[in-house]
Each structure stands twice: as structure tokens, then as C-alpha cells.
Amino acid sequence: MSEAFFLHGPRVGLRPLRLSDADGPYPGWLNDAEVCEFNSHHVFPYSLERARAFIETAARNDRTEIVLAMVVEGRHVGNVALQAIHPLNRSAEFSILIGDRRCWGNGIGHEAGALLLDHGFSALGLNRIGCGTTEDNAGMRRLAVKLGMREEGCRRQAAWKRGRFVDVIEYGILASEFTALAKPGA
């Protein structure tokens, strides 16, 4: 990978979002019903101006969130984030959006997620990282488990999707659990 990344793995580089990302496919992902089927986007139209405003806010880095662009073969393919970072509780919420359909189902999300979770636990000193997803989001539920997260509970009828209320399933992983996964033989 010729580009300088904040974090990188064998196939994925993670870097801060850039204003130039708004000129690429990124805003379109948030207007795509299929890409946003299981997240909170695609409720209101997402404009180029909103994309730029979000990127500028993320760039301020107020230490409550880390939002990074996922780059594969020089293409911005999605975003991954730790949000609601709480310094006292040493916790954060994990989120991911893969907008480039060519990257669906091939392990890119797992690689990016593992890089960011490792950073959260090792560099930020977090103790717990969690995420929530709708009950019918099989892909995110598989990713959470593959990242070592455990199902922790259910928020009943907490989201409105496709004309009905759906449950939100909560997942979480502790630093000690993540460390144990990284040990040989674990």
C-alpha cells in the first residue's frame, strides 16, 4: 500500500476521512436503500454538503470518536468507527458501513473491525467495545461474533425498518476477551 495509513492490515488501510472523499461514491452510499438497509441512514436524503459537514466534524477529533475511511486497492470502500468513546467508563460503540458492494462478504469488514478494536483496546485503553444491530441484519451479527463479541441482550422493538418495529440485538467484547483471542491457540 503506497498511501500512508493510520492503521493497516494485509488488504485494508484505515485513514481519516478527507474532504475529497465527499467527491467520490461516499455520499451515494448513504442514499442507497440496499447499502443502508440495516443502519440509521437513508431516512433523509444525504447531500454532498452533509457529507462534507460530517467529514469536517470527524476531522476535529474531539476524542469521543474515531471515524476512519476503509481503503482497498486505492478505493474508499466504507467507513469504520469507534463512537461514544467514554474516558471514565473506558467504553466505545463500534460501527461500520461498507458502501462498495464489491467488498461485501469477503472479509474486508472483519479485517477493518479487528484493526480498530485492537487500536481501541491497546492504544486507547478501552475495556469494552459494543455494537447494536437489527435482528434481521445477519451480516453484522456474523461480523460481531467473528470479532469475538458476545450477544448481550435485546432492545425490543427499538428500530423502525421496512414498515415495522424490529428488535435491536446488542453485542460486546471486553479487552481481556479480545486479548485472549489474539493469543496463539486461543
DSSP 110-132: HHHHHHHHHHHHHTS--SEEEEE
- What is the CB neighbour count within 10 angstroms for residue 52? 15
pLDDT at 62: 80
Q: Among 28, 34, 33, 69, which Cα is nearest to 46's?
A: 28
pTM of the shown model: 0.91
CA 80 to chain centre: 3
Go through the domains of the chain in sequence order and give each one's CATH number. Answer: 7-182 (3.40.630.30)
pLDDT for 38-64, tens place per residue?
766 656 677 788 889 888 888 887 889
Look-up: residue for cell 489474539? 182
CA angle 63/154/45 to nearest 5° reads: 60
pLDDT for 137-182, tens place per residue?
999 999 999 999 999 999 999 998 888 999 999 999 999 999 998 7
- What is the CB neighbour count within 10 angstroms for residue 54? 19
